[in-house]
Amino acid sequence: MMMRVVWVLLALIGLLFGAILVAFLIKLPRVEGPLTQAQATPAVLAAFGDDRAITSAADWSARRAPLLRAAFAANVYGALPVPAPVVITDKHDIDFAGLAGLGRLEEWTLETQAGDKPVRLHLALVLPNGKGPFPVIVMETFCGNSAAFKGAVGIAATEAQTPGDCNNARMRPVIQSIFGAHIFNPPFAEVLRRGYAVAMFHPGEVVADAAGAGLADLVEISGLERDAPTRPGAIAAWAWAYSRVIDALSGDARLDPARQAVWGHSRNGKAALLAASVDPNIDLVLALQSGTGGATLSRSRGGETVAQMTKAFPHWFSPAFAAYGEREQDLPVDQHQLLALIAPRPVLLSAARRDGWSDPKGALRAAQGAEPVYALFGARGLQQKSLEDPDFGANMTLYIRPGLHGVTREDWANTLDFLDVHFALEAQPAAQPDQQATGATLTQQISR
Ligand code: GCU
C-alpha cells in the first residue's frame, strides 16, 4: 500500500514537472526567419589599429593573427597560462559496460602546472578496438567522468559542475530531460563504431566553475588580484587545459596526431574556440551553442549580453571584458575575429530553436565575418545565407535543431557526420595534386 502511494506521488511529480517544462518551452520564442543581426565589424581583413589591410595568408599569419591574439587576451579572456610540461603519472584500465564491447576505457592522471598552481587532471580515454591510429575527440564536459561513465568501478569522481548534482541517480533523468540525452556523455557505441577515440575530462580540475573558488584559483594561477583588469578568466584556463591534454595524448601511437578535434558545449564551447585560436595542434573544432564570449558577436543585439554574462559568471572572463558591458561598441575586437584565427581548419557550430539566449543569428554573422580569412587560405568557409542551409562540406558551418540548450542525439549525429567529412578528407594522401588547394590539406600544412 505504502509503495503504491509513493508511486502515485512520483507520477504526480513527474506530470507536474512535464507540464512546467511544456509551459516553459511554449514561452520561449522560436529562433527562425531572416538574419536580423548586423554584419560583423570591423571587417576581418581591413586595417586594424596601425596594421594595414591584409591581402595574403602569409601576412594574416605573420602580422594580423598575433595582434588579434594579444587583443583577445587584453580585452576579453586574459592571457592563457604559459604551456608547461605534462607528466602522465598513472594509466590504468577500467571496466565499463557502456562501451558495448566495441572499445576500452583507460583512466590517466596528468600532472602539470598552470602558472603558479599545480594541476592534476583525470583523463578518461575511450579507444576503439583495433590498432589505430584513431582520430580523437577531446572533450571538456559539464559533469565530469564519474557521471559520464556511470557504474565504472574506480573512476575518479570530480566535483560536479552545473547543472545540479550530476552523480545523483534521481537528478540524472531530470538533468537529461532538460539538457538532452547526451549532456553527460557521447553515444559511446556509435562513436566507437565510426572509429573515433574520445578523451574526456572535467575543466573544474583546473579552475572551479564557481565565482568564489574559481576566482581564488585564477588569482593563484596568475598572481594577479581578482579585480586586476588583465586577470585571466576561467575560459582562458579551460582553453589552456585542452592543449595540455592534447600534449599528453600526442605521444600515444594509437592516436592520430593529425586528426585531433576539440569538443565543447556552451561554456566549454567558448573554451574550445579560444583553445583552437591559439593552438595549431588542434585540427578541428566542435563548438555547440557556445553563445556570448564564444561564437556569437559581442556586439549582437540578440541573446545574452556581455554585461549579463560577466555579472552572472564573474570568473569566466577578465575584468577588462566586464568593463565593456553596455558599451560593446567600444570593444576593439569581436568574435568573428576569434573564429578567423581558427581558419582554415574546420569548425562546426550548433544552435537550437528554443535557445535564443545563445544567439544563433549573432553566431551566423560571426561565422560570415570570418569567411574572408578562409578564402584567403583557399578554403571554403561559411557559405550559408541562413540558419536553414548548413553545409557540412564547408570548413565552417552552423546548423539549427529543434529543442533547447543541451546536447541531444541529433547533435552527435551532426558532429560525427562533420568529423567524417573533414577527417576523411584530411586522411587522403597529401600527394594528390587536386587536393593541394583544399582547406583540408592546408589545415595539415599550417598545423604541423
Ligand atoms: C549560461 C550562460 C551562457 C553559457 C551557458 C552554459 O546560460 O549564460 O553564457 O553558455 O550557461 O554554459 O551552459
Helix (H, G, I), strand (E, B) or coil at 413: helix
Q: What distance in angstroms lies between residue 162's CA and the mean position of ligand 1's atoms?
A: 10
Please report which helix (H) or strand (E) contains residue 237, including its range: helix 234-249
Asked if 238 and 140 count as a contact pair (C-beta separation under 8 A), the reply is yes
Rounded CA gap, 388 and 437, in Å? Answer: 28
Over residues 276-286, the pLDDT tens digits come to 999 999 999 99
Partners of 137 in the β-ladder: 198, 261
The CB of 304 under 6 Å from ligand 1? The reply is yes
Q: What distance in angstroms lies between residue 334's CA and the mean position of ligand 1's atoms?
A: 18
Pocket test for ligand 1, best of 76, 273, 350, 357 (most atoms within 8 A of CB): 357
Which residue's CA is the nearest one to ligand 1's atom 8? 309
Under CATH, domain 66-442 is a member of which superfamily? Alpha/Beta hydrolase fold, catalytic domain (3.40.50.1820)
The CB of 292 under 6 Å from ligand 1? The reply is yes
The CB of 183 under 6 Å from ligand 1? The reply is no
Give the closest residue to 186 by CA, choosing from 261, 112, 90: 261
**In the chain, % of residues over pLDDT 90:** 83
Neighbours of 118 (CB within 10 A): 10
pLDDT reading at 408 higher than 80: yes
Cα–Cα–Cα angle for 243, 332, 43, nearest 5°? Answer: 90
Q: What distance in angstroms lies between residue 313's CA and the mean position of ligand 1's atoms?
A: 9
Mean pLDDT of the region 124-128: 98
Q: Return the pLDDT at 198.
A: 98
The CB of 64 under 6 Å from ligand 1? The reply is no
Over residues 188-210, the pLDDT tens digits come to 999 999 999 999 999 999 999 99
| Torsion angle, alpha carbons of 417, 270, 80, 112, to 10 | -60
Residue ranges per domain, the chain?
66-442
Rounded CA gap, 243 and 249, in Å? Answer: 10
Pocket test for ligand 1, best of 161, 267, 273, 305 (most atoms within 8 A of CB): 267
Q: What distance in angstroms lies between residue 90's CA and the mean position of ligand 1's atoms?
A: 33
Which residue's CA is the nearest one to ligand 1's atom 13? 266
pLDDT-wise least confident of 107-111, 140-144, 411-415:
140-144
Q: Which amino acid is at 346?
A: P
The CB of 265 under 6 Å from ligand 1? The reply is no
Q: What distance in angstroms lies between residue 48's CA and the mean position of ligand 1's atoms?
A: 30
Rounded CA gap, 365 and 335, in Å? Answer: 10
Q: Which amino acid is at 305?
A: T
Q: What distance in angstroms lies between residue 323's CA and the mean position of ligand 1's atoms?
A: 19
Pocket test for ligand 1, best of 140, 266, 292, 349 (most atoms within 8 A of CB): 266
Over residues 145-177, the pLDDT tens digits come to 999 999 999 998 876 555 558 888 899 999 999
The CB of 117 under 6 Å from ligand 1? The reply is no
pLDDT reading at 245 higher than 60: yes
Q: Of ligand 1's atoms, which has the minimum distance to the CA of residue 163?
A: 13
Over residues 86-119, the pLDDT tens digits come to 999 999 999 999 999 999 999 999 999 999 999 9
Which residue's CA is the nearest one to ligand 1's atom 2? 309
pTM above 0.95, yes or no: no
Per residue, what are the HEC states of 276-309? HHHCCCCCEEEEECCCECCCECCCCCCCCCHHHH
Q: Return the pLDDT at 253.
A: 97
The CB of 266 under 6 Å from ligand 1? The reply is yes
Q: Return the pLDDT at 40.
A: 97
The CB of 309 under 6 Å from ligand 1? The reply is yes
